[in-house]
Amino acid sequence: MTNFPVHTLESAPERSKPALQQLQKAFGMIPNLIGAMSTSPVLIDSLVGLFGNVHGASFTEAEVQILLLTDAVTNKSAWPVAFHSTLALKEGIDAADVRAIREGRLPKNAKFAALSGLAKAMIEKRGRLNDEDVNRFLGAGYGKDLLLEVIAAVAASTITNYTASITKPPVDEAFQDQSWEG
């Protein structure tokens, strides 16, 4: 098994340090996955660009967490599931809805269900959504612009999900209560 370092600001490659500083400011810490990701300045810089576009765009932060948690579960990526479960609960998402997503089910909240269902379908169908997938999302009150915005969230989560699956960082203490084995 290949081991990947979990970098700190001091040990990270020089070109990764600005991105690490930016993410540390956003999270108040450098999560282990971000430390592992910083092994590649190209990868960490790519995440920072997408991160900035996804968070603070059209979706609420709760909706972003629904998307990212659904993506992590669909991609069967344990570290991001723990991380996004923790953030979803902090955003006030009902614990039953978080549990439903973690179990591969749709949340009870109708808008969250439409969002989660679309994210899951987008990953499972590799973007080849059918009219029913699209109409279910639009019927929940989301616009076509947001349908396309989900692609950016899926792209961001693909970076973190795949990196976590490859580097296997330990789950940070702050997220251990939400550890997940899939």
Q: Do residues 102 and 142 share a domain? A: yes
Among 54, 82, 103, the domain-final residue is 54
Residue 172 reports pLDDT greater than 80: yes
Statement to judge: residues 44 and 73 lie in one domain = no
**Residue 140: pLDDT above 70?**
yes
Output the average pLDDT for the chain. 93
Same domain, 43 and 78: no
pLDDT value at 26 more than 90: no
Residues 37 and 68 in one domain: no
Per the document, the length of the chain is 182
Check whether residue 32 and residue 82 sit in a common domain: no
Do both 160 and 98 map to the same domain?
yes
> Over 80: is that where the pLDDT of 120 sits?
yes
Number of domains the chain contains = 2
Instruction: Judge if 67 and 47 occupy the same domain.
Output: no
Q: What pLDDT, in 10s, does the model give residues 41-63?
A: 999 999 998 887 887 779 999 99
Give the domain range for residue 38.
14-54
Residue 2 resides in a domain? no
Confidence of residue 38 (pLDDT cuts 50, 70, 90): very high
Q: Is residue 125 assigned to a domain?
A: yes
Please tell me whether residues 152 and 112 are part of one structural domain. Answer: yes
pLDDT of residue 127: 93
Q: Percent of the chain having pLDDT more than 70?
A: 99
Residue 5 has which token pair? 């370092």
Distance CA(98)–CA(115), nearest Å, equals 13
Is residue 176 predicted with pLDDT exceeding 70? yes
For residue 128, the domain's CATH number is 1.20.1290.10
Please check the confidence at residue 3 and state whether its pLDDT lies above 90.
no
| Same domain membership, residue 134 and residue 91 | yes
pLDDT at 27: 86
135 and 158 belong to one structural domain: yes
Note the pLDDT of residue 178: 94
157-170 pLDDT per residue, tens: 999 999 999 999 99
Question: Taking 60 as the threshold, does the pLDDT of residue 1 lie above it?
Answer: no
Q: What 3 state SS string does the chain have?
A: CCCCCCCCCCCCCHHHHHHHHHHHHHHCCCCHHHHHHCCCHHHHHHHHHHHHHHCCCCCCHHHHHHHHHHHHHHCCCHHHHHHHHHHHHHCCCCHHHHHHHHCCCCCCCHHHHHHHHHHHHHHHCCCCCCHHHHHHHHHCCCCHHHHHHHHHHHHHHHHHHHHHHHHCCCCCHHHHHHCCCC
| Domain contains 5 | no
> pLDDT tens digits for 76-114?
999 999 999 999 999 999 999 999 999 999 999 999 999
